Amino acid sequence: MSPRKLGAGIDAFVGFALSSATVFAQVQWTEITVAPTPPLRSGAVIAYDSARDRIVVFGGADATSQLADTWEWDGTQWLQRTPAHVPAARYNADMVFDSARGVCVLFGGRNRSGTRYSDTWEWNGVDWTARSFATRPAARNSHAMTYDSARGRVVLHGGTPDGASETWEYDGVAWSRRSASGGPDVRYNHGMAFDAARGRTVLFGGTNSAGNLTNDTWEWNGTSWSVRAPANRPSIRGYLQMAFDVSRARVVLFGGSNLSTYFADTWEFDGVDWAQRTTATSPTARADHSVVHDGLRRVTLMGFGAFADSNLWEYRPIDPAEYSLLGSGCAGSAGVPTISNSDLGPFANDVFTIQIANVPAPAAGAAVGLLGFRDDAWGPLLLPAELTDIGMPGCTLRNDLGAVWVLPVIGNVATWDLLIPATEPPLFGLRFFQQALCLDAAANAAGMTLSDQGRGVVGGR
């Protein structure tokens, strides 16, 4: 919907009720075909190095042997790395990125001779370093790992053959086994991902102590496990892979196998229920593949696996939510009013929240939210407009005034909860603009200041 056709769009933001259903964006898988690519493999480990903006892949197994090569994807091309030190060749290990320390952490795995490993390795973007610990998980493969960014811990669960119901954590200094009675039983070939929006590690599926495949959902909060009972869920499977999409607050699951069928389905878990997503195109069915989320590009990547090829696939919404900041505010009695926002949204049929810091306390003034749909003109006034001539030196009006809100202020922070309605068709792609106007008698001759500008595009989950 064009900003120039939004007379009714302004009303849509004011005085409506949210429905109970999530408004889903259409999602898509897109194949990336570049050359060269890493050789085809299954059971490789993968992690997203957010400090260097690189996808890191190590090891796996091809048709005849296990591998010990290190590759990186920079969003455009694959680069094979040649470090001075490397872990032994292996497959069915696991690896995560420790964002607090800026290293990829690899543990365990096995080779085709049946040797299982209990070693810990770290990749810093230049070389691999072996870490030595007296206390550590026993040798195993087919375990699951994720990184709890809220607590700065690598979380490991399960694996085969030893300690397959254990929960371990690694903080970069030591491994520690956690007492977690009542959690998942023996489990291997399962999936785990850390839901950063809720601060929970999510576990799904895998093989249990009886050798049966499962489709249960568990969550680890850092202290205890709890089983979830979603109304919908993927079918029983192992060899699946999961990653958390930070831009939509969803765990994404793709593929796996029930030992007779390989799957090519895509599921998402929002903390309450699983939902199967349909796409116009999809990767081929596979298991023992690799899935990771690229936080900078806001895409989930998948590649490799049994009965697959070595091309990467990207998974993303066709209409992603976007939000950015432009310019700067002008100083008032409490400083320069400045907008901040979370990484989530704005989404249709949801509440999008921003905060404005450095606004005058309620006793000294007030804050007003200015919502607009144009940033080039407001009637005859061309935008952006510098406001020195009306007694607001250094202040710039950057959008029109489609609607205004009086914002609650606590301390020197104003909060703006913008409710975006569910409409038919959805408001996907709708662009809007936000500024905060502060009534501040001590600031300047006009007694007003303006914040920087927030620029949003409505998307779907």
Instruction: Give Cβ neighbours of residue 297 (< 8 Å, ≥ 6 apart).
Output: 75
- Quick one: pLDDT at residue 25? 63
Q: How far apart are the first and last CA of the chain?
A: 18
The answer to whether 156 touches 106, Cβ cutoff 8 Å, is: no
Look up residue 296 and give its DSSP letter.
T
The CA distance from 215 to 210, in Å, is: 14
pLDDT tens digits for 156-194? Answer: 999 999 657 999 999 999 999 998 678 999 999 999 999
- Quick one: pLDDT at residue 309? 83
The answer to whether 321 touches 345, Cβ cutoff 8 Å, is: yes
The answer to whether residue 351 scores a pLDDT higher than 60 is: yes
- Quick one: pLDDT at residue 4? 29
On the CB side of 61, CA atoms within 13 Å amount to: 18
Q: Would the pTM of this model clear 0.95, i.e. be above it?
A: no
User: Residue 318: pLDDT band by 50, 70, 90 thresholds?
Assistant: very high
The CA distance from 199 to 28, in Å, is: 27
- Quick one: pLDDT at residue 307? 81
Question: Which domains are delineated in the chain?
Answer: 3-19+321-457 (no CATH), 27-317 (2.120.10.80)
The answer to whether 381 touches 333, Cβ cutoff 8 Å, is: no
Q: Which helix (H) or strand (E) holds 12?
A: helix 7-12
The CA distance from 270 to 232, in Å, is: 12
Average pLDDT over residues 351-358: 97
- Quick one: pLDDT at residue 163? 58
- Quick one: pLDDT at residue 13? 56
